[in-house]
């Protein structure tokens, strides 16, 4: 099936993955009319999970892809799953996604029969680390930013080992590293650029109602850190998350200040040149 294309958007976390997934979910029929099949995130949770199902049973994903592209109507399969690379910034990790190697190797085997395109959206380390921390608190964790930061080695939060592993596995011409800063152009342009990168012929207009995926604002973070230690069940944590999103998100309140200015500058001095190099940004 080397005339069929599989597009795999592997993340990273906190880089617009939910926006792309929701757009494709809500526009499945429109995409199908252009020969594009969207393999939904709900399916990917079972087929890939946090990487282990992909590594232990790659044939399940391979069979699903083969079944879809066996239909004459579909020339392109697109999927988006930010957990494909495992958990980011793990304690003691050598880089931002320290467990990614076996997942990437398994994915390389699955996609070998096809023209594969792999997309990784990234953002500067300061933004990524702050945003991922807030997601962890949103999920019910109780540690402060400083406590969490003490578990990280800031000399080991490079994007480069991940990007090099992707290019080693799939080839440099089949991997695209994209600066998440494109979101500042607006979500419609962000989505359009994603599809143009798949194929310049996918130059259809996108007019998608804004879909915010809010995090906690500064007051919401204070409330979460006070309340989370008292939440015992998944339902309680979900109820708290919904409450904070509705009443104390970063839409209504300022974003929390997490890194100090000195810490922020130190991280930027360490990684900004590297970031510009891998994303091709000025």
pLDDT, one tens digit per residue, over 149-183 is 999 999 999 999 999 999 999 999 999 999 999 99
Q: 7: helix, coil or strand?
A: strand
**pTM (2 decimals)?**
0.94
Can you give the pLDDT at residue 213? 74
Helix axes 261-279, 125-138, angle to 10 degrees: 110
Can you give the pLDDT at residue 92? 83
Tokens standing for residue 172 = 């440099």
In a domain, 140, yes or no: no
In a domain, 46, yes or no: yes
DSSP state of 134: H
CB of 109 closer than 8 Å to CB of 58: yes
Can you give the pLDDT at residue 215? 84
In a domain, 269, yes or no: no
In a domain, 33, yes or no: yes
CB of 136 closer than 8 Å to CB of 179: no
Nearest CA among 10, 6, 8 for reference residue 69: 6
| pLDDT, mean of residues 197-208 | 92
pLDDT band at 211 (very low <50, low <70, confident <90, very high): low
In a domain, 41, yes or no: yes
In a domain, 100, yes or no: yes
**Residue 232 clears pLDDT 90, i.e. is over it:** yes
In a domain, 23, yes or no: yes
Can you give the pLDDT at residue 116? 95
Range of the domain at 90: 5-124+156-212
CB of 95 closer than 8 Å to CB of 157: yes
| pLDDT, mean of residues 84-93 | 91
Can you give the pLDDT at residue 187? 94
CATH number, residue 99: 3.40.50.300
Can you give the pLDDT at residue 1? 62
CB of 226 closer than 8 Å to CB of 140: no
Number of domains in the chain: 1
In a domain, 240, yes or no: no
CB of 129 closer than 8 Å to CB of 15: no
Half-sphere exposure of 100 (CA within 13 A, CB side): 29
The CA distances from residue 235 to 139, 185, 231, 242, in Å, are 11, 36, 9, 11
């Amino acid at each position: 099936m080397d005339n069929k294309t599989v597009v795999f958007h592997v993340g990273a976390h906190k880089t617009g993955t939910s926006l792309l997934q929701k757009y494709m979910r809500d526009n499945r029929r429109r995409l199908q009319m252009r020969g594009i099949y969207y393999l939904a995130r709900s399916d990917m949770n079972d087929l890939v999970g946090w990487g282990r199902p992909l590594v232990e049973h790659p044939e399940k994903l391979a069979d699903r892809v083969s079944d879809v592209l066996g239909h004459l109507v579909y020339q392109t399969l697109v999927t988006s799953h930010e957990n494909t690379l495992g958990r980011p910034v793990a304690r003691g990790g050598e880089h931002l996604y320290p467990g990614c190697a076996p997942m990437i190797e398994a994915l390389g085997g699955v996609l070998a029969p096809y023209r594969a395109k792999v997309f990784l959206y990234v953002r500067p380390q300061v933004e990524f680390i702050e945003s991922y921390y807030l997601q962890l608190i949103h999920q019910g964790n109780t540690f402060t930013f400083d406590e969490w930061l003490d578990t990280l080695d800031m000399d080991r939060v490079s994007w480069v080992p991940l990007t090099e592993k992707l290019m080693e596995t799939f080839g440099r011409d089949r991997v695209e590293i994209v600066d998440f800063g494109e979101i500042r152009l607006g979500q419609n342009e962000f989505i359009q650029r994603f599809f143009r990168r798949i194929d310049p012929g996918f130059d259809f207009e996108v007019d998608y109602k804004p879909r915010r995926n809010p995090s906690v604002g500064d007051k919401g973070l204070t409330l979460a850190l006070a309340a989370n230690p008292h939440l015992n069940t998944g339902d309680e944590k979900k109820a708290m998350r919904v409450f904070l999103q509705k009443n104390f998100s970063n839409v209504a309140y300022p974003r929390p200040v997490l890194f100090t200015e000195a810490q922020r500058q130190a991280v930027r001095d360490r990684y900004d040149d590297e970031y510009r190099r891998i994303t091709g940004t000025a």
